[in-house]
Amino acid sequence: MLPGSESTAAAGASCSSGVEIDQTEALLQHLAMKGSICFHHIAVWHQASWMGVVDHHTLVYEYFSERRLRSLKIDWGKDGFFFADGSEDPCPAGDVLSRKMCRVTGMEVCQQLERVTWKKYDLMKWNCQQFCRHMFEQVPEVYTGSGIFSRYFQDEGDRTSPPAPIFVGVAPSFIRAMCKCETLFAYENPKHGSIKPRLANSPAMAPSTSSMVLGAAATAWFTGLAFTAPGQVRTAPAQARPGNVRGARAQSGSTGFSGATALGGVCVTMALARGGKSMRKALSQDELKKMVGYKAVDDYVQSGTVIGLGTGSTAAFAVERVGEKLKSGELKDIIAIPTSIRTQEQAESLGIPLATLDTHSDLDVAIDGADEVDPALNLVKGGGGALFREKIVEMCAKKFIVIVDESKLCDGLGPGFPVPVEIVPFCHEHTMRKIASLPALKGCEPVLRLGDVANNQPDGDEPAVTDNGNYIVDLKFTSPISDPVAAGEQLKATVGVVDHGLFTSMTTACIIAGKEGIIVKD
List residues near ligand R5P by CB under 6 A: 310-315, 368-371, 381-387, 390
Residue 146 CB contacts under 8 Å (≥ 6 apart), including other chains = 40, 101, 154, 161, 163, 164, 179
Q: Which is nearer to ligand R5P, 111 or 313 (CB)?
A: 313
Shortest approach of ligand R5P to residue 357 CB, angstroms?
17
**Integer Cα distance of 267 and 126 in angstroms:** 11
CA distances from 424 to 381, 433, 492 (A): 18, 14, 13
- Could you list the beta-strand ranges (E) of 281-410: 306-309, 335-338, 363-368, 372-373, 379-380, 397-405
- Is residue 388 within a helix (H) or strand (E), and if so which, with residue range? helix 387-394
The residue among 48 and 454 lying less far from ligand R5P, judged by its C-beta, is 454
Contact 251, 245 (CB under 8 A): no
The strands making up 502-503's β-sheet, listed across from edge to edge, are 372-373, 379-380, 502-503
Residue type for position 486: A
Query: For residue 238, which phi and psi values (nearest 5 degrees)?
Result: -60, -35
Give the count of alpha carbons within 13 A of 472, CB side only: 30
Would you say 163 or 451 has its CB closer to ligand R5P?
A: 451
The catalytic position among 62, 88, 156, 390 is: 390
C-beta of 46 vs 391, nearer to ligand R5P: 391
Count of CA atoms in the C-beta half-sphere (13 A) of 122:
16
The least CB distance from residue 282 to ligand R5P, in Å, is 18
In the complex with ligand R5P, the residue whose CB is nearer, 387 or 438, is 387
Measured distance CA(222)–CA(406) in Å, rounded:
37
- Residue 140 in contact with residue 102, Cβ under 8 Å? yes
Residue 151, amino acid: R
Which residues touch 136 (CB under 8 Å, ≥6 apart)?
Answer: 42, 44, 59, 98, 100
Nearest to 6 by CA among 68, 63, 85: 85
Q: Of 84, 74, 89, 126, which is closest to residue 266 (Cα–Cα)?
A: 126
**For ligand R5P, the closer CB: 80 or 369:** 369
Task: Verify whether residue 108 is a known catalytic residue.
Answer: no
Residue number with CB closer to ligand R5P (166 or 392): 392
Q: What is the DSSP letter of 515?
A: T
Query: Least Å distance between CB 513 and ligand R5P?
Result: 12
Q: CB 47 → ligand R5P: shortest distance, Å? A: 30
Type of residue at 364: D
Closer residue to ligand R5P, CB minimum distance, 88 or 374: 374
Nearer to ligand R5P, 73 or 381 (CB): 381
> Please, what is the minimum distance in Å from the beta carbon of residue 313 to ligand R5P?
3
Compute the distance between CA of residue 515 and CA of residue 522 in angstroms, rounded to an integer: 19
CB of residue 289 to ligand R5P, shortest distance in Å: 6
CB 457 → ligand R5P: shortest distance, Å? 13
What residues are paired with 216 via a beta bridge? none
Strand partners, 278: 273
Cα separation of 314 and 369, whole Å? Answer: 6
Is the Cβ–Cβ distance between 474 and 465 less than 8 Å? no
Active site residues: 390
